[in-house]
Amino acid sequence: MSHAGKHYTGSTLEIDGHVAVVTLSNPPANTWTRDSLTALRDLVRDLDADRNVYALVVTGEGEKFFSAGADLKQFAEGDKALARETARRFGEAFEALSAFRGVSIAAINGYAMGGGLECALACDLRIVEEQAQLALPEAGVGLLPCAGGTQNLPCLVGEGWAKRMILLGERVDAATALRIGLVEDVAPKGEAKARAIAWARQAEKQSPTSVAACKKMVQATRMQTHATALVAEREAFVDLFDSADQKEGVQAFLEKRTPQWKNA
């Protein structure tokens, strides 16, 4: 399946080998619209169905913004039906991103505010550039983060810092984001995307079938108890013995060669 160079509303897609790079593109601040959220959902589902794609990098166009979140103009009329529809589309888009079977990495190249930060929170890993700032400022305009922010942020930073950011509207800089566990790395200005692609290449060395199973298990306790997830973890281990990659991985190790993954 080829998507290279295909344009989706609000973003562009490039595929290089097993790595897909999605660039959020809605100048000047890469804000989300209902159409761009639906397009992101469809794009991620397309990539998920492409067995040749092992990793996904999400970044923002330009130097200043990763994404400034929802375009607030659409909420000026106080239309509840529109609000419900927008919230649903945010949910569908970022839940599709969370469920992507490969490794997803947010290369945060500038401001990530509100739904912009929530997009990064839906990814597996985050690299932030040293000049960027991160925030969930929704309560300052009479709203709340409706795209996973109140749930995903405390998973990473704990309840205290999540409340500090959401209830006080506090912005965090790159150094603070790293210290509190909101991001996994800080890169110099302009270098987050390259570092994210390097991480994606690192992920390529792992068995993609194993990565998909591992990711599912790491995220399992969001939905089930620790005890249930431990049982599922053992079952998932046994299920990998049905995969070609398990046979190839062990064989390659024993033969002291690099494995050739099939994602099957």
Supply the residues annotated as catalytic: 118, 138
Contact (Cβ atoms closer than 8 angstroms) between residue 123 and residue 66: no
Q: Which residues contact 94 (CB under 8 A, 6 or more apart)?
A: 118, 119, 121, 122, 147, 148
Give, in order, the Cα–Cα distances in Å from 102 to each of 83, 97, 161, 170, 244.
31, 10, 28, 32, 17
Q: Which residues contact 96 (CB under 8 A, 6 or more apart)?
A: 40, 41, 44, 45, 48
Q: Which amino acid is at 11?
A: S
Residue in the block written with tokens 């996994």: 184
Q: Which two tokens stand for residue 61?
A: 């166009």
Give, in order, the Cα–Cα distances in Å from 222 to each of 10, 56, 148.
29, 22, 12
Residue in the block written with tokens 């000047």: 28
Q: What are phi and psi of 47, to 5 degrees?
A: -65, -35
